[in-house]
Structure 1
């Protein structure tokens, strides 16, 4: 996000003289005066730059060395090589695993939330009259979300060293509080139908402005980091024998939820999004807590069996 914000800032600076604030004479495509419009040059430059960054990222990932990390929940060694058919069979079995079914609401919420902050909320920034004249708004938004992601990642990393299993329920509670706060602020400050078109209608309680947008973007980054962290951890712990399959399925559900939201987006106001995100968040939290408790009980049972096995081995020796 931070790299992307830098790219956007450079592009907008280079095209500052061609920023369009136009009125289209065609009534069916009327664009009111004062609303931010992106030129063809800006759009082409954005696609070209992000394509280049994506290519570099894939090359770095492909050439990066791998090593075993001590006490890592996802080990690399002592794993059997499997055929494609066997891998596919395991994916299908994992789909029907009750532990994976229990976690499905979390994956759906992740999909709804991701599409909202990537597509929906940035759209409201352009469509809201009070913010539409801010040329660098997309770059500032991207940078602030990235800063929120990094900040929460550092917090989780530090707290995990001091509090056992902080990456599970405590982080989920953080996501619940942060996302609920975010939803309240969004509903209060975003015009109802700024999600689908240009509007100069007032928001419910307060008018959107730059400081408020920065606060919202930072909350988005914090909440997204929490949700992604608990998703990664629970996929590794809840189904330890099919970790890779569990993570792949979580991404499938995330993409599926995002597709549903995109198809229904023309009919949804900010109030609909707020209700959807809050309901999915509550359901995801309840299901995640249940799954985390089940995982903890499973780990305790496994630990007891190991102790019994060690005692038997010592007696035999």
Structure 2
């Protein structure tokens, strides 16, 4: 059963009532199928109405939903083959940022992305998707391979931000993020970045400085988390909803501002309610973007990125 968010409590109450009625019906005590059908129709309408009017803070909660598909789910659903590559050839292998060779239809490519994990053990192993310097250096290594063998690059971004620990700073976190961003901008092959959940700060930009940036409908992308922004401005995280609204972190706002290029529709109720449909929608969008970009040469791709990012913020 789907975990419900705070703003979904009325929907949760209806779903619980439906389950109770089904259990009663299974016992054969009375025929209540018509009542169940009415409640299902009401629940579906409430879900549709709720998700058509989400606030930025509510979208943030959806983007963080524990059942939302992660890197491993997208890889399994999008690609016919995936050969993971590990290590930065310098320090170690970061499990928060994964990548390797992949095949999508007849197209061979390099895929890189953040993996948050889906239970306590895997979340700890993947450090909740917060990359360390060796993760970003691994991404640079994979992008170098893509450039050398003329393979398109697809990145799947889902992180609250790069790991802020002392050990990461000691190993050059800022430098690794900067060089990964630089590598994205200098690639001579097509690059499509997708914000699939949270796109947090430089930890996200380091894998998203592409000529085509896509976002799932209920994903968020920002320079700092709403809680972090609220803590700085008002010395409390309780005003995160106000910060989220002011920061323009939703796909719809970012499309208007020119930060992203395309919004990929999610199933009603969010990607976690129909992972298969969400992945199918995303796969179609990525394939279309790669097909358009493969017609461009190295000089045109670099010029497109330069123009895109220099234009952001201009009137």
Query: Normalized per residue, which structure has more helix?
Result: 1
Query: Normalized per residue, which structure has more strand?
Result: 2
Structure number with greater CO (CA < 8 Å, separation at least 6) is: 1
Larger radius of gyration: 1
TM-based fold match above 0.5? no
Q: Into which bin does the TM-score normalised by the smaller protein fall?
A: under 0.3
